[in-house]
């Protein structure tokens, strides 16, 4: 794998840390800003909606730029947003800062995925994208637990200062190592937007959305679930987040291999397992050891889907790779916001934290339905084009 992929993974690590670190600090942020836990959860939803809204806007804004220059500008926006988070004095400004930070997220992962896939042979594309997303999983293994510990020790704003520095390092590495492709074709957004008429693309994006909703309905509230139901100490929450991060990393690696094998079969199976792993936490969360084992398995299954979901939409949108890959990151974060909202709704209705895993499991089953629709549309479109051999999306 080219060195440039490791630099993209480093950038993904920085972005992933700033997105997810607030989950481990949610109770602290709520207490510090004198807001309810569901209101603090909206800081996660606000970031996710910022990604969803910002993804197409930033894709248009950077369309005429070489991909390397676009990635450098987007990382600059990321640095500014984290500085704003670090100095935020109240809930409103922190929400605004989170949205600013989120603007770079979708376009960076979208363009970065296209760059990552372009650096390797056809049969290694899912693995290359998985390597880039390894930075996102390592953010959960190292960035989130360390950031949570740092925030509990020195205040929740401190991790954002640390991520700002990390962003500067990533920016310098991108500038030095990322190749400038001389034969890179200029993005024709008008042509790319025309490709969005494909029903298969929207089915693939819907699959991503409901998968992400299933994941984040639980992930958003995992810290209060651990503290209030499993009775884990704040220090114990940090170690549990580290365990979850390990599961995410293993899942991301395995998921890349599975996606290179049979994409459709792999994703459908992963969603079913995710539904089971999430719902089971309803009962295992009352005891420490079962809860820890359950969360590790849940995390491993969840992130096994991520590389495949990105490749899934890129198969449908081969004629519009930049836009479709970026929109898929937006779909991830629409699902993020939806999942956080569903989890907050469950809590707000008085059903309790133990009902959240059941809601997450139900959303995973909706993702199964969306994936089956995506596969059916893939076969239909292939048949219309006279293609008789199954594509990876149909496997």
In whole numbers, what is the pLDDT of the chain averaged over residues?
Answer: 82
> Is the model more confident about 220 or about 181?
220
| Residue 128 pLDDT | 77
The three-state secondary structure class of 279 is helix
Token pair listed for 364 = 């995973």
The secondary structure element, H or E, covering residue 199 is: helix 199-219
| Residue 188 pLDDT | 60
Q: What is the CATH number of the domain that holds 25?
A: 1.20.1250.20
| Residue 194 pLDDT | 67
The label of the residue with tokens 């939806």 reads: 338
Q: How far is CA 272 from the centre of its chain?
A: 19
Q: What is the pTM of this model?
A: 0.71
DSSP conformation class of 120: S
How many domains would you assign to the chain? 1
pLDDT tens-digit profile of 41-60? 788 878 888 888 887 788 77
pLDDT tens-digit profile of 89-103? 889 899 999 988 988
For residue 379, count CB atoms less than 10 angstroms from its CB and return exposed for 0-12, middle for 13-18, buried for 19 or more. middle
pLDDT tens-digit profile of 184-226? 555 566 666 666 666 777 888 889 999 999 998 998 888 889 9
Rounded CA separation 110/103 (Å):
12
In this prediction, residues 321-329 reach a mean pLDDT of 72
| Residue 272 pLDDT | 93
| Residue 224 pLDDT | 87
| Residue 204 pLDDT | 82
The domain in which residue 338 lies consists of 3-178+186-394
């Amino acid at each position: 794998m080219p060195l440039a992929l490791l630099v993209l993974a480093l950038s993904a690590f920085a972005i992933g840390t700033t997105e997810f670190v607030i989950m481990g600090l949610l109770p602290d942020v709520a207490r510090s800003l004198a807001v309810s836990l569901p209101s603090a959860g909206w800081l996660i939803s606000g970031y996710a909606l910022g990604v969803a809204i910002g993804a197409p806007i930033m894709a248009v804004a950077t369309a005429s730029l070489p991909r390397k220059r676009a990635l450098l500008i987007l990382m600059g926006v990321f640095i500014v947003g984290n500085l704003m988070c670090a100095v935020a004095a109240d809930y409103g400004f922190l929400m605004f800062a989170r949205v600013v930070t989120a603007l770079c997220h979708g376009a960076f992962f979208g363009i970065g995925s296209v760059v990552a896939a372009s650096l390797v042979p056809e049969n290694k594309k899912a693995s290359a994208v998985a390597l880039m997303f390894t930075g996102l999983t390592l953010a959960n293994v190292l960035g989130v637990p360390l950031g949570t510990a740092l925030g509990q020790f020195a205040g929740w704003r401190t991790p954002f200062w640390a991520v700002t520095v990390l962003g500067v390092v990533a920016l310098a590495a991108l500038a030095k190592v990322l190749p400038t492709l001389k034969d890179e074709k200029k993005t024709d957004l008008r042509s790319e937007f025309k490709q969005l008429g494909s029903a298969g693309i929207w089915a693939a994006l819907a699959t991503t959305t409901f998968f992400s909703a299933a994941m984040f309905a639980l992930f958003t509230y995992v810290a209060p679930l651990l503290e209030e139901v499993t009775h884990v100490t704040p220090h114990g929450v940090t170690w549990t987040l580290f365990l979850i991060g390990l599961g995410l990393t293993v899942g991301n690696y395995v998921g890349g291999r599975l996606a290179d094998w049979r994409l459709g079969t792999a994703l459908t199976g992963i969603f079913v397992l995710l539904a089971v792993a999430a719902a089971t936490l309803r009962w295992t969360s009352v005891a420490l050891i079962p809860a820890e084992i359950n969360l590790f398995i849940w995390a491993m299954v969840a992130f096994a889907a991520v590389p495949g979901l990105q490749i899934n939409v890129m198969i449908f949108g081969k004629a519009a790779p930049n836009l479709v890959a970026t929109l898929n990151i937006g779909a991830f974060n629409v699902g993020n916001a939806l999942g956080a909202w569903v989890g907050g709704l469950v809590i707000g209705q008085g059903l309790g934290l133990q009902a959240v895993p059941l809601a997450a499991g139900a959303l995973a089953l909706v993702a199964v339905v969306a994936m089956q629709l995506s596969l059916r549309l893939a076969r239909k479109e292939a048949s219309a084009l006279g293609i008789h051999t199954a594509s990876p999306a149909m496997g």
